[in-house]
Structure formats: structure tokens, C-alpha cells
Amino acid sequence: MRQPRVEIEYCTQCRWLLRAAWTAQELLTTFSDELGEVALVPGTGAVFNVRLDEEMLWSRQEQGAHPDLADLKRLVRDRIAPGRSLGHTDRRSPPPPPADHEH
């Protein structure tokens, strides 16, 4: 069975190669048995897109920010290794509830 491919398209003008390569190494370290490859794709125009096979997992233009690594790992895990624990990445406590305004 062909293993999934991740594609990280990054903007060369914005010098995002280092961020893209760091993200690739993190995904390949966490999912070394599950991923077939991670491809780094040079682009322009402030692009930073992460695709899993044909699905767009994260688009900086749409989401308005770079992906948080733990969120990105959960997005990948939910598709290629559902149920698998990501250790501390999963235990990261959700953001605190909004402060109580009574006092």
C-alpha cells in the first residue's frame, strides 16, 4: 500500500525554507513509519501550505498564520494514525477558560 505524502509549499521570497524544513523534520521524526515522503516545494507570494496527499491541511493564506506544530501533528495523526497518542503533544492543556469578570 502506497504511504501518504506530505507536501510543504513555502515562500522563497519570505525565506521560509528553514521553517518548512524544520516542519518536515518534525513530521518525519514523529511519523517515520507512516509517511512515504515529505516534499519541500519552493513557491512565492507568502505561500505556506501543508498538504497531505490531495487534502490541504493548512493554508497560511486561509488560516492567516503559520501552523502551530502540535496542531499540525494532530491533523496529520487524525488522518494517517488515528488513535495513536502523540505523547506530550496530546497532553498540552487546552487554553485556560476566559477570566471570570465578576470580581
Using CB under 8 A as the criterion, which residues of the chain lie in contact with a copy of itself when the complex forms? 5, 7, 12, 17-18, 21, 24-25, 28-29, 32-33, 35-42
CB 17 within 8 A of CB 40: yes
Q: Quick one: 37 or 78, whose CB is closer to a copy of itself?
A: 37
User: φ, ψ for residue 48 (rounded to 5)?
Assistant: -150, 95
Q: Quick one: 28 or 92, whose CB is closer to a copy of itself?
A: 28
CB 18 within 8 A of CB 66: no
Instruction: Report in angstroms how near the CB of residue 35 gets to a copy of itself at its nearest.
Output: 7
